[in-house]
Amino acid sequence: MATEVHQLHVFFFPFLARGHMIPTMDIARLFAARGAKSTIITTARNATGFTSTVDRERFSGHDINIKLIRFPSTEVGLPEGCESFHSLTTMEMLQAFLRAVSMLQTQIEELLVEYHPDCIVADMCFPGVSDIAAKLEIPHIIFHGWSYFALCAMDFTVTKDIPSDSESFVVLDLPDEINMKRSKFPPDYYLELVRQLRESELRSYGVLVNSYYALEPSYAEYYKNVAKRKSWHIGPVSLMCNKNTIDKAQRGERANIDEQYCLNWLDGKKPNSVLYVSFGSVALFSIPQLAEIAMALEASGVPFIWVIKSSKEDEERCRLPQGFEDRIEGKGLIVKGWAPQVLILDHPAVGGFMTHCGWNSIVEGVSAGVPFITWPLFADQFFNEELVTTVLRVGISLGFEVCWTSWPEEMVSLVKRESIEMAVNQLMCSGEEALVMRKRAEELGQRAKAAVENNGSSSLDFNALMEELMARKRPLKSSTA
């Protein structure tokens, strides 16, 4: 009687937001490339952005597919087809969306019972999956779309009393002295979710982090040895999956300017001369704030590419100052909608990145070796700003004080053009401080690329995870002649 081990089957359950789905898809591709069967669970509307990616992976011989579940939009009062976080425009829609998300657990459990995979990798925003996985005795791994630094700092919020909003304090016990204000930590209504996430971590088999060891080594060690979390750093996952090419299909929507036009435009610029400006797929600034950004970029004289989230429902919300686009022609490029961010950041002409500090953007920026201007808005973004500016020292903060503004268009206070222009000139000038910052950023980029090589830290950590999951599998018995 001989035994054989059947193919490892892993389910992936990404949160329904582009910034969560893209890295989760990359992780599913990593597993499939190592011989596992990867099954992504998502809704019909969200699946459309990844169908061509899955088709190409399958054509390459990788076992990867999508299982669809129904999103209960109408049951919670959302428009039919409103299935993604980036399509929300009000706090009321967000609350309805989260109610609908919580209703997905029944469908998830039904799929897990039917297929009983060897492991489920679920987004951190689905803490309830840990209970289902425990009941079915399936290892549950949490994918955190956050940095180790943010995870360590967030852990502080559920274990310590935090002073008043205006009082600055030291985030105790962290490897570096980090001074923050209460206003940059989660509001009370969010803390309950943070506590649920922490409890889910403790019940899970482990945690995947889209980071690499050389980026934040002391925080990787702190998270594992002090916070006592089992984890694997497997990033940057965009580099792990796309070492030679960028899979643009899964980056989503159409824009007013295509990829090749952006790259051709950059080809005509000097090295490190262009500032890339993007605030992710969620932020939709008010018209007055857009005007402040536009006037600052124009006044700075620095060449730039500015990506503005498009609003198909209301083009008026993307309106720029009259005559602005004509005045900056040749000097600036406006992209409304999707932009090939990884390719732009990797271009030699790009020398800086103004960002909302979403972790995907930070990882892609450091992978490209560019320094930052930081403008965080909510969630882990304020922690990522501290990592970039205080620990890594590769960024300049705009000093934005209003925290956790999920809907920037509702901000009462504006970041003024003078502050924005000053930061742009400080980062993009040839002064000694800027040159030293750029040198640090370039070193981080080199370390990112080294981490995903065959013997790099992220590749080794991912291989160790695969071996551990395979070792847990029960062998199948088979008769021999």
For residue 326, indicate whether it is catalytic: no
Choose the catalytic residue: 118, 123, 155, 461. 123
Cα distance from N-terminal residue to C-terminal residue, the chain: 9
Task: Please name every residue paired with 67 in a beta bridge, in sequence order, or none if there are none.
Answer: 41
For residue 9, indicate whether it is catalytic: no
Q: Are 337 and 310 in contact (CB under 8 A)?
A: yes
Choose the catalytic residue: 20, 62, 140, 347. 20
| Residue among 425, 431, 417, 432 nearest 302 (CA) | 425
Query: The tokens of 119 are what?
Result: 């492991």
According to DSSP, the β-strands at 476-478 and 2-4 are antiparallel
- Measured CA to CA, the distance from residue 124 to residue 207 in angstroms comes to 9
Cα 423 to chain center, whole Å? 24
Active centre residues (catalytic): 20, 123
